[in-house]
């Protein structure tokens, strides 16, 4: 029952993250990427601060040995992922970005095997491969032979770099998780990310553009701060602690499914039969990975 609760929360987080791909398409063209990342995590940090103050009554006090940990999670996991993510949204579609993000479980599993000595389970690998088959079907639009002639655009490459940062963040979080609560790790990752970005925001001089940014872009930033960042990352850390990074990362494969639906509803992108079949492969792969440890 306990695992079922975290599975439900991770599915909900996948929905929120899918919404972030739509929100990025609505905000990245109008707000510079460092400023966009800064605003997202400034709001998220403030919200999480009040949540921790209410729930845990006190904030964990940093020690000298904590600084390298949060520099890594804040810069690689937050700054690295989101700068590449927002840049990618300028050159590729929301659906494409979310599909590429589904390669995260494979990268995470490999990194966990190398650095955390996690055991590889044949049925778990089968689930990952099945999910990835769904990803390939989506990328090639059902023409699997086309995989040999795919030319990734700049956005696709940037999104792959974002996924690598995300996977590294998840694996490293598992390694240091025994030392911190999920809220503490998430809060200080957000805080270090926000502080690190200040000089870059000053360089971008966003005040010169503030009157040119449409209202929906600001709404998109608030959405990403609350739902994709505070709720999504907090649930992710809880899940990593409870079921591990590899099993947590498999839920990323649900993101392209939700993204396809949201993109059709909000961005008027089309849903094809191939994408529906791809979604079935991905959901089945997720089920297999969670059914068999």
pLDDT greater than 90 at residue 221: yes
pLDDT greater than 90 at residue 34: yes
Predicted confidence at residue 233, as pLDDT, reads 80
Structure tokens at 107: 């990268």
The percent of residues in the chain predicted with pLDDT above 70, rounded, is 91
Predicted confidence at residue 138, as pLDDT, reads 67
Predicted confidence at residue 100, as pLDDT, reads 77
Mean pLDDT to the nearest integer, 169-180: 86
Predicted confidence at residue 85, as pLDDT, reads 93
List CB contacts of 58: < 8 A, sequence separation 6 or more: none
Structure tokens at 28: 């990245």
> What is the tally of helices (H) and strands (E) in the chain?
14, 0
In a 3-state reduction of DSSP, which class is residue 120?
A: coil
Mean pLDDT to the nearest integer, 203-219: 90
CA 285 vs CA 64, 112, 134, 259, 291: distances in Å: 42, 19, 9, 18, 10
pLDDT greater than 60 at residue 247: yes
Give the model confidence (pLDDT) of 90-144 as tens digits.
988 887 787 777 777 777 877 887 887 777 777 777 877 887 787 777 666 666 6
Task: Tell me what the pLDDT averaged over the chain comes to.
Answer: 84
- Residues 234 and 216: their CA atoms lie apart, in Å, by 25
pLDDT greater than 80 at residue 168: yes
Predicted confidence at residue 137, as pLDDT, reads 75
Predicted confidence at residue 71, as pLDDT, reads 95
Predicted confidence at residue 152, as pLDDT, reads 57
């Amino acid at each position: 029952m306990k695992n079922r609760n975290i599975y439900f929360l991770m599915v909900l987080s996948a929905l929120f993250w899918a919404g972030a791909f739509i929100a990025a398409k609505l905000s990245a063209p109008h707000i510079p990427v460092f400023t966009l990342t800064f605003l997202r995590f400034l709001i998220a940090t403030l919200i999480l601060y009040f949540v921790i103050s209410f729930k845990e009554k006190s904030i964990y006090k940093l020690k000298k040995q904590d600084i390298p940990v949060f520099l890594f999670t804040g810069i690689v996991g937050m700054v690295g992922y989101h700068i590449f993510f927002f840049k990618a949204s300028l050159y590729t579609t929301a659906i494409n970005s979310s599909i590429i993000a589904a390669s995260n479980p494979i990268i995470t599993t490999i990194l966990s095997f190398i650095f955390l000595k996690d055991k590889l389970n044949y049925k778990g690998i089968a689930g990952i491969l099945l999910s990835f088959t769904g990803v390939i079907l989506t990328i090639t639009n059902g023409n699997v032979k086309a995989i040999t002639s795919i030319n990734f655009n700049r956005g696709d490459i940037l999104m792959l770099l974002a996924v690598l940062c995300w996977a590294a963040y998840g694996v490293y979080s598992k390694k240091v998780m025994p030392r911190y609560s999920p809220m503490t790790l998430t809060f200080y990752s957000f805080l270090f990310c926000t502080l690190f970005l200040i000089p870059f925001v000053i360089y971008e001089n966003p005040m010169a553009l503030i009157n040119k940014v449409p209202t929906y872009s600001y709404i998109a930033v608030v959405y990403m701060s609350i739902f994709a960042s505070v709720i999504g990352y907090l649930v992710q850390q809880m899940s990593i602690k409870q079921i591990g990074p590899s099993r947590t990362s498999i839920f990323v494969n649900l993101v392209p499914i939700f993204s396809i639906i949201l993109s059709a509803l909000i961005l008027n992108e089309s849903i094809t039969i191939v994408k529906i079949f791809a979604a079935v492969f991905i959901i089945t792969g997720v089920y297999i990975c969670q059914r068999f440890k």
